[in-house]
Structure 1
């Protein structure tokens, strides 16, 4: 594995561009690891409606970045006390949604530091029942990005201030507050260390696990490519916020795979526009699925027929098709 040095950059737009650039442009014969620390920012999941996830007035008043990432899952808060890791490997269907597989080296190093860390649920690392890390994945079809956060010394009070935490998420977790569910790694360490020391300890542990581990520094030409991707994508309002569609049908439901939110514009009985949002994880873009439904009559038989041969697990993970169809078109006060 090759560790890619991000040269201490803390701009979230640049770091996310670097991550994607490595996945799309670097030699596919190697696996890569990237660490980065971001300035205060909210990182939005690929399928989420940004304006409904953030406290816009608060983030503007406090100069907090808002950036969308390429992977699914929910919105997360980053600051200088949060260490982010990213494993970039060849696409492997057996590792897709297998968060235990790629977080295992991180969990092993945390255990060596004396933390009773374990992977719980679909994508969280917990210590003594407290979440200290969340993870997500993205596939280009050829390469996979498996990345996550490590709460080391984050200002946890800012999580609730900057995010609009939905009641459905709070209810599903069985807790009353975000602060009660999360903790910093530094709280569990017997000896006080800095986040940079923690980063080095992680690297040392990962190096010890792989004798062929090496460090790589990007060339000026490669950095130019990263900057271009940042300017074309991650700096744009269209990518980070986008335009939520006009709609006259709105539905929201929490499934086993995560929360789904659908907005449908129906005109003259036809689905003119349909957008699916949420904190779910999927291999394929839901834009592809949306396209299969747009233009159809907004009735259950038409939706059932369009989805008959569609494998919904590619878009959401393990979801029941009949339940999903009922979600799109069923008796509901929002219809």
Structure 2
């Protein structure tokens, strides 16, 4: 097995691009191990509706990345206290959904460190019934990724805030995350250690459980290709938000001008239907706003841009445009 050196990068979009690039382009006769640590970010499962998983207002205010990964499963919060591991191997027809095969070496090392970790359910590692790791898989048919998180010293307060969804009455066919009781590995260690020491101990333990490792450093050309994949995929709103399954939203709120009730249908990230109901009074038909928003990405900056020259009071009376935009996009 070869250990891939990510050279200390903490940008989640770059790390996910590196992981996918290694899966698709590295030697298919070799097994690889990749570690990476991300800046504060929410990593969305491949089949999830992003807006159902995040507190959009909070992540915008705090500069938290939102990135969709290529594997399924639920949304997870990453920060500098979270170590991510990824095994890149051949798909032998038996390994997909065999989470025990890939978590067993990690659990063994944790046990050796005095952490009573065990695999519970389908794909979670628990200590004292608290989740310290979740895992997921993805296969190209010939090659596969088995990757997971290790909550070492994550800010649990941020986990709650970043994943506390405020969007009301949203329905979709996306796979919703199931929140579990979580804990940090550092809570179960007999003596405190740093993230760097934890990473080193884990790597040494995995070395001992396998054939001798060698460390691989990407060439300049390979890093260039990884950055290109990041720019062409992981940097894009279309991948991170627009790939969400079809969904619909009902939003209503009473203002001084009356109640506004919105019904919004979104498909492939674009508003496909938009209806406004309520008991407000306006001079112009709201159908003009409805038609204006059809085909617009369900993205706050783009909605604001489309409405920038619209005199909203013509449709609702004395009413702030920002209040309408916040109602459309879900910031309560």
Pairwise same-fold verdict (TM > 0.5) = yes
Matched, 1:17 2:24: no
Q: Give the match's secondary structure for 1:241.
A: helix
Q: Is the 8 A contact 1:138 1:145 kept in 2?
A: yes
Provide closer, same or farther for how the CA distance between residues 39 and 98 of structure 1 changes in structure 2, counting only shifts above 3 A: same
Aligned to 2:214: 214
Matched, 1:58 2:61: no
1:220 Cα offset (Å): 0.4
- Whole-Å separation in 1 of the counterparts to 2:242 and 2:164: 18
- Whole-Å separation in 1 of the counterparts to 2:133 and 2:117: 10
TM, length-normalised to structure 2? 0.70
Provide closer, same or farther for how the CA distance between residues 165 and 249 of structure 1 changes in structure 2, counting only shifts above 3 A: closer
Alignment of 1:50-89 (within 5 A): 50-89=50-89
Aligned to 1:181: 181
Q: Residue deviations 1:267-290, cap 9 Å, x none?
A: xxxxxx9xxxxxxxxxxxxxxxxx
Q: Residue deviations 1:106-140, cap 9 Å, x none?
A: 00000000111100001100011111000000001
Q: Give the match's secondary structure for 2:228.
A: helix
Provide closer, same or farther for how the CA distance between residues 90 and 249 of structure 1 changes in structure 2, counting only shifts above 3 A: same
- Whole-Å separation in 2 of the counterparts to 1:228 and 1:118: 39
Provide closer, same or farther for how the CA distance between residues 244 and 182 of structure 1 changes in structure 2, counting only shifts above 3 A: closer
1:164 Cα offset (Å): 3.3
Q: Is the 8 A contact 2:31 2:87 kept in 1?
A: yes
Q: Structure 2 stretches of 5 or more lacking a match?
A: 167-177, 251-264, 273-332
Aligned to 2:295: none
- Whole-Å separation in 1 of the counterparts to 2:34 and 2:247: 40
Larger-Rg structure: 2
* RMSD of aligned alpha carbons: 2.4
- Whole-Å separation in 2 of the counterparts to 1:86 and 1:140: 15
| Number of residue pairs aligned between Structure 1 and Structure 2 | 244
Aligned to 2:119: 119
Provide closer, same or farther for how the CA distance between residues 159 and 245 of structure 1 changes in structure 2, counting only shifts above 3 A: closer
TM, length-normalised to structure 1? 0.69
Q: Residue deviations 1:136-180, cap 9 Å, x none?
A: 0000111100000000000011111001369xxxxxxxxxx95x7
Q: Give the match's secondary structure for 2:73.
A: coil
Provide closer, same or farther for how the CA distance between residues 7 and 247 of structure 1 changes in structure 2, counting only shifts above 3 A: closer
Q: Is the 8 A contact 1:52 1:164 kept in 2?
A: no
Matched, 1:190 2:190: yes
Alignment of 1:226-245 (within 5 A): 226-242=226-242
Instruction: Give runs of ≥4 in structure 1 deviating > 2 Å.
Output: 243-250
Aligned to 2:27: 27
- Whole-Å separation in 2 of the counterparts to 1:229 and 1:140: 17
- Whole-Å separation in 1 of the counterparts to 2:146 and 2:243: 27
Q: Give the match's secondary structure for 2:146.
A: strand
